[in-house]
C-alpha cells in the first residue's frame, strides 16, 4: 500500500510542504492494491474509536476524530462532490 500525508490549508494559501505553520489539520491517504484491500483497510480504520474514515474503492482517508468541524465539513463536501461526478 502507498501511504501519503494529507493536510488542510485555507483556500488561497500556498500548498508548499515547507509552510507547516499554515496547516489546519491532517490525516493519511492510503492507496491499496485493490478494492478488497481498501475495504479491509477501511474496516480497520473504522474499528479505531479515535479515527474518522472515508473510502473510495482502493483509497482510504484516515483523520483524527478531533478534526476541526470546519475542516471536516470541507472534506465531506469535497468527497460528496467527487462522488456526484461519477
Higher pLDDT, 24 or 71: 71
Q: Is the pTM of this model over 0.85?
A: no
Higher pLDDT, 19 or 66: 66
Tell me which residue has cell 467527487.
Answer: 82
pLDDT score, position 8: 65
pLDDT score, position 22: 40
| Torsion 9-66-79-39 (CA) sign | positive
Residues 2-44 have pLDDT tens digits of 787 777 666 665 555 544 444 446 788 899 999 999 999 999 9
Amino acid at each position: 500500500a502507498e501511504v501519503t500525508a494529507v493536510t488542510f490549508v485555507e483556500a488561497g494559501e500556498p500548498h508548499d510542504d515547507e509552510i507547516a505553520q499554515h496547516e489546519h489539520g491532517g490525516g493519511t491517504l492510503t492507496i491499496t492494491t485493490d478494492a478488497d484491500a481498501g475495504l479491509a483497510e477501511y474496516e480497520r480504520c473504522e474499528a479505531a474509536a479515535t479515527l474518522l474514515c472515508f473510502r473510495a474503492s482502493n483509497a482510504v482517508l484516515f483523520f483524527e476524530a478531533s478534526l476541526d468541524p470546519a475542516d471536516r465539513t470541507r472534506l465531506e463536501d469535497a468527497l460528496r462532490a467527487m462522488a456526484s461526478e461519477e
